[in-house]
Structures are given as structure tokens and as C-alpha cells.
Amino acid sequence: MTDFKTPYGLIGRKLGHSISPEIHAALGNPAYSLYELEPDELGAFLADTRLKALNVTIPYKIDVIPFCAELDALAKAIGSVNTLVRQENGSWKGYNTDAYGLRCMMRAGKLTFDRQNVLVLGNGGVSQTIQAIAKLDGCASLTVLDIAGTEYNYDDLPKFYDATTLIVNATPVGMYPKAGKSLVDLTKFPHLSGVCDVIYNPQRTAFLLQAAELGIPYAGGLTMLVAQAKQAAEYFFGTTIPDDKIAEIGAKMQADAENIVLIGMPGCGKSTIGNALEALTNRRQIDLDAEIVKKAGKEIPAIFAESGEDGFRAIESEVVREQSANRGVILVTGGGVVTRAENFAPLRSNGHIYQICRPIGELSREGRPLSIGADLNAMAEKRMPLYKALADCQIENNSTPEAAAAEIWRDYCAYSRSQWTEFEHAGNA
């Protein structure tokens, strides 16, 4: 049986990647714990009268309903509960704050259900909320696909390619630690006006990365998570929290969780700038070349000598996938990381990417197998368009590493804040 920790918390089956305790601490409640429960533990756990209020996640948003003596009107209409509050008589009352969070997420992405032909992927608890709000907010049509296929399963996708204008992913497909997967290929949908994903880890799922690549408006799940937590905390304590708290907490959560990724030509100064950034921000720096050496058990020149560039790049891509799963670190890449397109999505999924720029004549060749004796101008001609395509920002390394690091940090902090402008002022949400 799961042991009692604090009166407030989150119940679910697997919660290893949850950041809900940090959000609730920022909302003024540090007494918030994660409770991983198996289905047969649910009833006995909820009977513990020391528990005062709980959030509910996968797979229990529907399962908790029989344990509620009362549901608020929205939770009852939706048929899904993500917030439980102990009443004075000891019973549970169920609320749905996912609806509020969903509407905040939609607005943050400048998306609407109004008159859209909506395709929802998944039919669990959060999907029930999405379906109900889509109807309440005026969707033209609503289709739900899931594995069980109550009405349609994923084999039926081609039937909806032409009509669909908005897709919502309400499944865990694409979530860490199994990032990089998507249930749909967005190129098959010619009339999309937007997509959104309830997943918040990584910041950008493969589903959202494809939307960005195709120029389709999109919204990710961190806004929904922070906003629903804000409303849940209001129910927990019978208080009102200004909506600008969503922006304050969301921007900090994003800034703390997202990686700073440095790319650029070999010898452009990525490592020295990474060192300066580490000192400035107290973030851990991860040198991908050093991780390659660890993984291979040999130095990079030896890898090239034994396996050639293709062998090296294969190991590099493995390391990129592994290390991109980190949160809130500095990733210093090798100069050739851009030569394999498969590296782009992992780096982008949870990273803001900076290209370090330096004149070709000033690039160091020491200890770089591909730089020694190479025509760096020819190398740059091939790689510069790739760096530009991957980078979110270019930084000139024409002063000190400390100056470049400070410029990166200023830009990164401004970027993180800019993602939350929709909720900067109380009363917006």
C-alpha cells in the first residue's frame, strides 16, 4: 500500500517525470507529493482521511468518479475528474480543471475549436475533457480515434485526411522517455489550421515539431499543466490566484526545463562558451564529444581510425538522442552534428539552439580529425545552411567567452518569457 506523505498531491500510475510538485510549490503549497498507485490500491488510498485534496492523472480520471459523493457541474458534464477536494463531512467532491487548462493552451497557440473539424487522438480521461470542450466551444465536427476503436481506430485515419482542420493529441505517445514518436503524419492533412498536444515533456513532441516544420500553428501541454494546476489550487484552498501567475510560473518552468544547445563549426569556441555559461547559470554542461568517448570507450581519433566518419556519426546520433532527454542543461555539440538530419528533432524537442559564429580563419583545428588538413571553407559552405536551419539564434564569438555567454543567457531568458505573453496580465485567462 502506498504510504501517506502529505495532505495534497497527485495520484497516477507512473509519475516519474511529473513536475506538478514544483508548480504547486510555486503556487504556495510545498506540501504536495506524488502518489503512484496501482488500480487495486485506489479505493483504500482515497479512504485515508488525512488526504485533503488531490490532482488525478493517467489512468484514473474516470476511475475516481465512483469515489466522489458530488461532482461539480463541469466535471459531471464532461465525465472526467482531475481534482478531488475533501468536504467537511469527509466525502470527496470532484472537479475538472483540465477544461480551464485546455482553453488556456488553445488561446496560447491562438487556436480555437469554433467551426473546426476536430480529430482527437485517444479516448482516456483527458480526451473526455477535450471532446466536451470542443463541443461546448462550437466545433463543426468531432472524431475520436483510439486503439480500442470504440468508433474508429488508427487504421481509419485516411478517412479523415481531407476533412480535418484541427488535431489534438490526448495520448502519451511522444512523451519522455519514449520521445520521438507520433501517431500521425501531418503532411497527409491538407487543411489543418492547427494542432495541439497535451504532453509537456518534452516541450516539443515529434507531433509538434512536424507542425512547426510545416508552418502549422501549434500549442504544447505545459500551458495546460500550469493553468489547470492554478485552478486546482484555487479549489484546494478556496482562494483566487491571479492569472498572471500562469505566466510567471510557466516562464520559469520552461526556462528551468529547456536545454541550451550550442552548435557551430569545429573550433568556433562552443566549449569555452559552454564553460562560461556553466559558470554564469549554474547549469550542468554536457559535452557530446566527451559522451561519445565514454560510450565508445576510446578517443575520437581512434573511432575515426577504426570505424570511419560513418561509424563516428552513428555513435554521435545515439548520444544526441540520449542526452537531449536531459532537462535544464547546456549541450555542447560537435561541429558535424548537423550532417545527420536525424539529430535535429532530438535537439529541438527540448532545446533552444544557438549557433556560435566565428570567421573561418580563426577556427582552431587542434584535436579535430576532420579539421586537420581539411578545406574549412568548403566544409563551411556545406554546413552553414544546416547550422542556420537548426539554430534559433546566432551568436558572434568576437569578444570573450564570458561576453558570448552573457548574450546567450539574456536572449534565452527573454525567449522563455516571450512564450507566455498571453497570460502576462491578471484577468486574461
For residue 289, give the nearest of 279, 303, 305, 268 by alpha carbon: 303
CA dihedral defined by 387, 389, 390, 392, rounded to 10 degrees? 100
- Strand extents, DSSP E, 267-319: 285-287
Task: Output the CA–CA distances (angstroms, integers) from residue 424 to 80, 145, 248, 284, in the order listed.
Answer: 29, 36, 8, 30
Q: Which helix (H) or strand (E) holds 294?
A: helix 288-296
Residues 6+ apart with CB under 8 A from 428: 243, 244, 422
The dihedrals phi and psi of 23, each to the nearest 5 degrees, come to -65, -45
Q: How far apart are CA 140 and CA 320, in angstroms?
A: 42
Q: Assess contact for 234 and 361: CB atoms under 8 A.
A: no
What would the grid cell of residue 134 be?
470542443
Give the catalytic positions in this structure: 61
Q: Assess contact for 223 and 198: CB atoms under 8 A.
A: no
DSSP state of 407: H
Q: How many helices (H) and strands (E) does the chain have?
A: 14, 16
What would the grid cell of residue 293 be?
568517448
**DSSP letters for 25-42:** HHTT---EEEEE--GGGH
Q: How far apart are CA 165 and CA 329, in angstroms?
A: 36
Cis peptide, bond prior to residue 202, ω within 30 of zero: yes
For residue 55, give the nearest of 67, 44, 64 by alpha carbon: 64
What would the grid cell of residue 193 be?
489550421
* β-sheet bridge partners, residue 85: 53, 93
Residues 6+ apart with CB under 8 A from 245: 27, 230
Q: Assess contact for 229 and 24: CB atoms under 8 A.
A: yes
Q: How far apart are CA 410 and CA 281, in angstroms?
A: 11
